[in-house]
Structure formats: C-alpha cells, structure tokens
C-alpha cells in the first residue's frame, strides 16, 4: 500500500534534518578533538618507532659483534639471513643491511622499496644518528635508517620499513560509524510517531468524503489535545452546522411546496366544480377564464415539482446508481417522445449519433437532463426551424451537442443560462426556467460539464461526460 504523502513529508523532513545535524557534529568533532588527538598519537607513534629501531639496531649490532660479523663480507651467511628473517617476521617489517650503499642482506623478495633521493626533506625526522621518514608515500609507511656500530668501524646501515599505526584515525572512523548507526535507528523510531499523526489526518479526509457523499450524520472521533485533535473538534462543529442548515433548507422547501400545493389543490377542485356547472349553460366567457386558471394551476404545479427536483439534486439526496446502457438509443427515444410537437411545428431534426461502447451512468437522471435540452430546443425553435443533434466520443469523453436556429445570445446571457429561473434571451415562450439548472446539476453529479455557445447554426448546448461516469 502506498504511504500517505504527509507521512512521507514528515519522515523525509526529519531524516534530512537529522543527517545535517549528524554531519555538523562529525565535522566539529573531526576539526577539534580528533585532529588534536591524531597529532598527539602520531608524535607518540614516531617516538615509539624510534625506540623500536634503537632496540633492533642494538640487537643486530650485538649479533654482529657476538658472531664476529664485523667485516661486511662475513655478514653474508645463512645464520645472519635467518636472524634477519625472524626479526622481520616478529616486527611485521621489511629489513635490510647496506654497506656504502651496497646491499648486503635483506629479509624480503624483490627490489628495495625506498629511494631516499625521492623523499622530501620535510618528511624526515632526525633523532641522534637515526633518520626517520614518515608520510612519504600513499600508504603512509614509516622508514628508518640507523648505523650499525661495529669494532671494524665499517659504514654499515640498518634499514627497516613498516606501516604506521593509526589508532586515532580508527577512532575517527568508529565515531563516524556510530553517527551513521544513530542516523539509521532514529528515523526507524520516528516511523510510528509519523504514522500516528498521518493516520489521524487520513481519518479527517475520509470523514470529509463521507459528508460530501451525503452522510450528514457522520462525525469524526479524533482524541487528543494537540492541533489535530482541535481540528477534529472544529470539523465536527462545522458538520453540525452544515447538517442543521441543509436539514432546515430541506424542511423549508418541503413546507413551501406543501403550502403552495394546498391552495392550488383547492383552486383546482373549485375550477372543476365550476366547469361542470357552466358547461351545460354554454358560458364561453367563463369557460375561457376557467381554462386560464387551469393552465396557471398546472404551470405552478409543474414549477413546484421542478423546485423539489432541483432541491433533491442540489442536496445530494438522491443516490445515483451507475449502470451501463445505450446512450444513443436513449436520445433516439427522447426525440421520439417529442415527435408530436416536432410534427406540429414542422421542425426538421437532423441526428448524427455514434454508437458509444461501454458507457456507464444513471439512465433515469440523464434521461431528465437530455430531455430538458431537447425539449428546450424544440420549444425555442421557430416554425419550420432546424435542430441538429450529434453524439460522438473523444478519447474517454462522450459529447452530446444540440444546436437549434434560435437567436444568438450575448455573453452575459450565456454565462447565466444554467442559473435557476433564467430564460433564453427575450423569448416569451413559457417555461419554469429550471430545466437547464437541473440539467447542469445532473451532469455535474456524473463528473461532466454542461456549456452553452453561440455557434454557426444558432444556439448550442454541449454536454461532455466521462465514458465511465462517477459521482
């Protein structure tokens, strides 16, 4: 499962700050204590190596004197070679003896590893007759040259080379590894803390989505006295107020509808009684007024029904069940319902409807939306006019376009055409002014877009829906 983005931000921010802090601590430590300690240790190592060389020189000199190897040519023998080899193994070093730059014996195979002419003077340390060279190559070996005292006063020199002991540097490396270990352990320990914070934020998100889907009674249960706990409390207070507002609005809408329909019902009943009595007496004037009353009553009744329908959609009261259906056949059926009016007005309806595969939506509500558009096109098209209806697919979108040769509207009317109780232009055609408002609500509930345009053919309503509609 992919971790939440907020959790990742918490974790990465903390890890970044921890790394910066550890690097600063390491840098400060290396600059002060480690360097000072290394200088001290190197000096002690240098003195220790000089003592080692003095001791080895004494051992070799004693060997030469005890075995009468005071003449350089006599020193070249198996016994001295074995002694030199053992001494080299015990000290983990390379040892050789020279006389006037001539090699006499050595404890290793190969060439002499040191050329004194290539060593800078700044790498040379002198103590009595001993010359010590330190840090003169990449491996930081220590090379020491010491004269061998013998009775014959021959110029024999004892040479030894061994690696430097870097205890101080090992301490610095250990300190670095310790910091790295802390840098790994601390972020791991932070994971449950970050998860605790992000889980509560995730609960807030899920609760917001539930309320947005229409579950107004849902409340979030986030405990704690921190900022997120306070946010949860404020969220519940907001949900309470929103629920009261929406419930109050729904109750008001129902009350208004009831109060309007009650007198309308009485007017209708009175109109029917009067009509029965006056029809026998052939009072044409009275009947004409009664017809006007009936039309007004029917108009108000339809208007109330439209208001209730718009209110339900606006309050998300209805739950849309999305199912696959043939959207092309639906439009053909709706055009068929309007055929009596089309024939009476002698309208020409041109259709170009492509077959859309895999379309999913709510057939009932989309039928209402499409019927509103087609009914408006028929209603606002003049006698012998033309209507063009096209349906096609663009990538993962379905587009329905309905164009009629109605007069073109200005930009202000176009921008307000989907608002409740708005009518197209200065037309005197009767209508509630709620049809396109209901249409837009239904299309938006399906994740689509409804737009109005002035096209070459007149006035166009264009609906764009995803192939797989969702709420």
What's the confidence (pLDDT) of residue 347? 92
Higher pLDDT, 256 or 209: 209
Helices marked H in 142-226: 167-212
φ, ψ of residue 429 in degrees (nearest 5): -70, 135
The confidence band for 17, taking pLDDT boundaries of 50, 70 and 90, is confident
78-84 mean pLDDT: 82
Mean pLDDT, rounded, of the chain: 76
What's the confidence (pLDDT) of residue 334? 93
Percent of the chain with pLDDT over 70: 71
Q: Is 50 exceeded by the pLDDT of residue 471?
A: yes
Q: From residue 39, give the alpha-carbon distance in Å to each of 32, 142, 233, 428.
A: 11, 16, 62, 101
> By C-alpha distance, which of 110, 176, 101 is closest to 145?
101
Cβ proximity of 94 and 112 under 8 Å:
no
Q: What is the pLDDT of residues 221-260, one digit of tens each?
A: 877 777 777 888 888 888 888 887 777 667 666 666 666 6
User: CB 150: neighbour CB atoms within 10 A?
Assistant: 19
How many residues does the structure list for the chain? 471
Q: Are strands 94-99 and 102-106 parallel, antiparallel or unpaired?
A: antiparallel
What's the confidence (pLDDT) of residue 463? 93
Higher pLDDT, 211 or 424: 211
What's the confidence (pLDDT) of residue 64? 72
How far apart are alpha carbons 384 and 109 in whole angstroms? Answer: 115
pTM tops 0.85, yes or no: no
- What kind and span of H or E run contains 62? helix 35-66
How far apart are alpha carbons 47 and 130 in whole angstroms? Answer: 12
How far apart are alpha carbons 394 and 96 in whole angstroms? Answer: 89
3-state secondary structure of 180: helix
Which structure tokens are listed for 370?
């499409």
* Inter-axis angle of helices 78-91 and 35-66, nearest 10: 160
Higher pLDDT, 325 or 174: 325
Percent of the chain with pLDDT over 90: 13
Lowest mean pLDDT of 31-35, 292-296, 373-377, 462-466, name the range: 31-35
Lowest mean pLDDT of 273-277, 325-329, 433-437, name the range: 273-277
Q: What is the pLDDT of residues 278-320, one digit of tens each?
A: 766 666 666 676 777 777 777 777 777 767 766 666 555 445 6
Which structure tokens are listed for 431?
């209508």
For 404, residues 6+ apart whose C-beta sits below 8 A from its C-beta are 377, 378, 380, 381, 385, 386, 387, 388, 457, 458, 459
Per-residue b or e along 10-25, where b marks 16 or more CB atoms closer than 10 Å to that residue's CB: bbeebeeebeeebeee
Q: Is 90 exceeded by the pLDDT of residue 29?
A: no
199-211 mean pLDDT: 82
Backbone dihedral region for residue 258 (phi beyond 0: left; psi -120 to 50: alpha; all else: beta)? alpha
Q: Is 70 exceeded by the pLDDT of residue 430?
A: no
What's the confidence (pLDDT) of residue 168? 46
What's the confidence (pLDDT) of residue 326? 93
Q: What is the pLDDT of residues 139-196, one digit of tens each?
A: 667 788 888 766 555 677 888 887 655 444 455 566 667 667 777 777 777 777 677 7
4-19 mean pLDDT: 69
What's the confidence (pLDDT) of residue 167? 47
Which structure tokens are listed for 101?
């730059």
What's the confidence (pLDDT) of residue 140? 62
Q: From residue 418, give the alpha-carbon distance in Å to each of 171, 303, 387, 433, 449.
A: 77, 16, 20, 9, 11
> By C-alpha distance, which of 399, 413, 393, 391 is closest to 459?
413
What's the confidence (pLDDT) of residue 28? 66
Q: Is 90 exceeded by the pLDDT of residue 37?
A: no
Residue ranges of domains in the chain, CATH in brackets: 5-169 (3.30.450.20), 227-314 (1.10.287.130), 323-466 (3.30.565.10)
For 192, residues 6+ apart whose C-beta sits below 8 A from its C-beta are none
* Inter-axis angle of helices 435-445 and 363-379, nearest 10: 150
Q: What is the pLDDT of residues 328-374, one digit of tens each?
A: 999 999 999 999 999 999 999 999 999 888 899 988 889 989 998 99
How far apart are alpha carbons 145 and 137 in whole angstroms? Answer: 16
Q: From residue 252, give the alpha-carbon distance in Å to each of 244, 249, 307, 406.
A: 12, 5, 12, 37
- DSSP-derived secondary structure letter, 147: E
Higher pLDDT, 195 or 386: 386
How far apart are alpha carbons 137 and 119 in whole angstroms? Answer: 9
């Amino acid at each position: 499962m992919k971790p939440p983005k907020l959790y990742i931000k918490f974790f990465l921010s903390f890890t970044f700050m921890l790394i910066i802090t550890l690097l600063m601590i390491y840098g400060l430590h290396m600059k002060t204590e480690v360097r000072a300690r290394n200088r001290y240790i190197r000096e002690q190592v240098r003195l220790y190596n000089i003592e080692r060389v003095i001791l080895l020189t004494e051992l070799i000199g004693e060997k030469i004197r005890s075995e009468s190897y005071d003449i350089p040519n006599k020193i070249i023998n198996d016994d001295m070679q074995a002694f030199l080899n053992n001494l080299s193994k015990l000290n983990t070093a390379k040892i050789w003896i020279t006389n006037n730059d001539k090699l006499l014996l050595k404890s290793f195979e190969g060439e002499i590893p040191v050329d004194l002419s290539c060593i800078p003077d700044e790498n040379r340390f002198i103590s009595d007759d001993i010359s010590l060279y330190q840090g003169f190559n990449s491996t930081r070996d220590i090379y020491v040259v010491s004269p061998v005292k013998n009775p014959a006063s021959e110029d024999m020199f004892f040479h030894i080379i061994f690696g430097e002991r870097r205890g101080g540097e090992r301490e610095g490396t250990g300190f670095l590894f310790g910091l790295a270990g802390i840098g790994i352990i601390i972020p791991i320990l932070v994971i449950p803390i970050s998860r605790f914070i992000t889980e509560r934020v995730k609960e807030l998100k899920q609760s917001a989505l539930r309320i947005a889907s229409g579950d107004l009674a849902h409340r979030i249960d986030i405990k704690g006295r921190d900022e997120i706990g306070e946010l949860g409390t404020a969220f519940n207070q907001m949900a309470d107020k929103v629920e009261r507002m929406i419930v109050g609005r729904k109750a008001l809408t129902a009350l208004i509808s009831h109060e309007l329909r009650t007198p309308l019902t009485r007017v209708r009943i009175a109109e029917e009684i009067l009509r029965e009595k006056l029809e026998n007496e052939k009072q044409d004037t009275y009947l004409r007024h009664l017809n006007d009353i009936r039309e007004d009553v029917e108009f108000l009744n339809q208007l109330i029904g439209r208001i209730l329908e718009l209110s339900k959609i606006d309050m998300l009261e209805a739950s849309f069940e999305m199912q696959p259906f043939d959207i092309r056949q639906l439009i053909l059926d709706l055009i068929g319902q309007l055929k009596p009016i089309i024939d009476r007005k002698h309208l020409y309806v041109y259709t170009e409807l492509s077959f859309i595969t895999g379309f999913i939506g709510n057939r009932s509500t989309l039928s209402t939306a499409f019927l509103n558009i087609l009914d408006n096109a028929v209603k606002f098209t003049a006698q012998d006019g033309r209507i063009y209806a096209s349906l096609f697919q663009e990538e993962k979108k379905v587009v329905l376009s309905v164009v009629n040769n109605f007069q073109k509207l200005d930009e202000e009317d176009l921008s307000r055409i989907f608002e409740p109780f708005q009518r197209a232009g200065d037309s005197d055609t009767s209508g509630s002014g709620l049809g396109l408002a209901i249409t837009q609500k239904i299309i938006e509930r399906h994740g689509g877009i409804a737009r109005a345009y002035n096209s070459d053919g007149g006035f166009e309503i264009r609906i764009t829906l995803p192939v797989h509609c969702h709420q």
